[in-house]
Amino acid sequence: MTLKAKIKAGAESLGFVAVGFTNIKPLPGMQQYKDWIEKGQQAEMAYLASQRSLEARADAKQLLPSCQTVISLLSSYPPPADRRSAGIIGVEGRIAAYALQRDYHEVLSERLEKLAYLIKTLAEVEVQTYACVDSAPILEKSYAHKAGLGWIGRNSLLLHPDFGSWTFLSELLISLELEPDPPFEADGCGECQLCLRACPTQAILPDRTIDARRCLSYLTIENRGAIPVEFRKAVGDRIFGCDQCQSVCPVNKKVHQEPQQTAIEEFPDLVESFRLTAEEFKQKYRHTPVWRAKYTGFRRNLAIAIGNSGQKEFLPLLEGALLNESDPVVADAIEWALGELVQ
């Protein structure tokens, strides 16, 4: 076996479902990223527009000066459950499928550390590595596309022909020059525009990017302020993230994943969740992606979901919570929910 084949086999043994290799230049997608930033479609995620962010995304050597090869890796997760056959609508909220497992940052960082060690063991020369898991400033979808792992769909997500977009992307930058894989040439979306039509807030743009200012995933996770009033009804029962554009995708509908044990429930009780103290929230969600929303963001989302529930029996809960709420963003969401339920 070649070194490249041994690395791929090792990566698969660690749990990665697909592996691709590519060099660092040229990299398509950078101009589109700059245009996206210039339009302000990153919303309040100012770090995405920083000078370091732009420089690193344009050149992987900003992250690892000796970088010669980017190894793109996919890890899969099960699609969300069918809401019609799971959970009680109006009483339970919904958490995006990717967030139900242990925090993928922790899981993938451990896998990449083991892969880096394996590569250094296999190679006959000194190897430098740099691991990227989601938060690193790198155009991960562009590298994955260039490495042959799939195409970038209309909903902006990488689509693998077998695993769809129910995947996590990560990268290992290495100082070895390995033969690159051919890029993925086909566009599996064709003329399909189901995701564009299904997006609750029309956040998906024609150029296959997302206007974060309208995206429910951004608004319920990264957003630290109030969710704009015009999008609150669209939140529905979502209390963390949104899977809508993925759930309607024909490619994703063909994906079959064996059920996995989850770290948290997909449809948590709205009342029980809203009553969690800050410490209880930490104990339950600290090592899951839900922690990213923070306690106040989670309560904001819950209040809006309760307001969308149509359950008037929740009124006393909200009225009592409003009397003691010190956070203005959460208080605003509670007041909105009260207004929805008394109609």
Active site residues: 134
CA distances from residue 300 to 2, 40, 204, 274, 293 in whole angstroms, order as listed: 53, 24, 24, 9, 10
Quote the CA–CA distance of 97 and 114 in Å, as a whole number.
26
Question: Cα-Cα-Cα-Cα dihedral of 110, 116, 119, 120, to 10°?
Answer: -130
Sort 277 into a burial class: Cβ within 10 Å, 0-12 / 13-18 / 19+.
exposed
Please list the residues that pair with 164 across neighbouring strands. Answer: 160
Peptide bond into 259 cis (omega under 30): no
For residue 226 the two structure tokens come to: 């109030």
Tell me, letter by letter, the H, E, C secondary structure of 156-214.
Answer: CCEEECCCECCEEEEEEEECCCCCCCCCCCCCCCCCCCHHHHHCCCCCECCCCCECCCC
Q: Helix, strand or coil for residue 59?
A: coil
**Nearest by Cα to 130 from 56, 49, 39, 48:** 56
CA-angle at 291, arms to 289 and 297, nearest 5°:
120
| C-beta of residue 98 within 8 angstroms of C-beta of residue 77 | yes
